[in-house]
Structure 1
C-alpha cells in the first residue's frame, strides 16, 4: 500500500478540511446556469417555435445572479422573449420567469414546464 495521507498508518487517507466560508465563497462565484433537463425543455420549445417560423435565433447568458435564454426573430434585434432562471427568487416567487421585449413579466413560477406553458397556443370556442 502507498501512503498518500501523510501519516495514516492503517491505510486510510486523511481528509483535507476546507473552511465552510471558503467553500461557500467558491460556490457563489460560479455563474448561474441552466441544468440539462431545463435546457431540454427550453430547446424543445425553441424547436417548435422555429418550425412555426416565429423564432430564428437564441442566446444563452450565464450571469453571476441569473441565467438567461433570449429568443430573437432576427439576430440584429432585441430579444422577443427571455426565459430567466434566478435562484434567489426560488422560495418567494419561483426561480423561473418569462419576460417580454418591453420588460413585462408574462409568467413566473417554481416549475419551468408551467412557466413555458405561456407559449402554448390553446384553441378557444367562439360562438357566432
Structure 2
C-alpha cells in the first residue's frame, strides 16, 4: 500500500486560454450579422496553451477567412486581441475587442 508521502506529485497541466462569455457574445454578434448576409457559414474555436482562436469560414472545407485571436500575454504590449486575414495580415489589434472587431464590420458593409 502506498502512503500519502509516497504518492507521486504530478505537475498540473497548464490551463488553456479561452474566450469568456462576454467576449463570445461580441464575436457572435458580428458573426451572426455576416451569416444573415450570407457571407459566412461556419466557425471553429481553438483553445491552446498560450492563445485562443475563433476562426471564421465561408465553407467548412476551406481555410478560415478571418481569425480572431486572443493572446493574454500581449495585453500590456500590442493588445491581447487581433484580427488576422486569410493571407496572414494582421488587420487590427488592441485591448478592446469591440473596437478590434470593427474592421470586420467594415468588410461586411463593403460586401453587401
TM-score (norm 2): 0.83
User: Using the alignment, how far apart are the partners of 2:54 and 2:24 within structure 1?
Assistant: 9
Query: Any gaps of 5 or more consecutive residues in structure 2?
Result: 1-10
Query: Any gaps of 5 or more consecutive residues in structure 1?
Result: 1-24, 124-128
Question: Partner of 1:58 in structure 2?
Answer: 43
2:102 is equivalent to residue 117 of structure 1:
yes
Q: Which runs of 4+ in 1 moved over 3 A?
A: none
Q: Which of the pair has the greater relative contact order for Cα pairs under 8 Å at 6+ separation?
A: 2
User: Using the alignment, how far apart are the partners of 1:86 and 1:121 within structure 2?
Assistant: 23
Q: 1:34 aligns with which of 13, 19, 31?
A: 19
Offset of residue 121 of structure 1? 2.9
What is the RMSD computed on CA atoms of the aligned residues? 1.7
Greater helix share, 1 or 2? 2
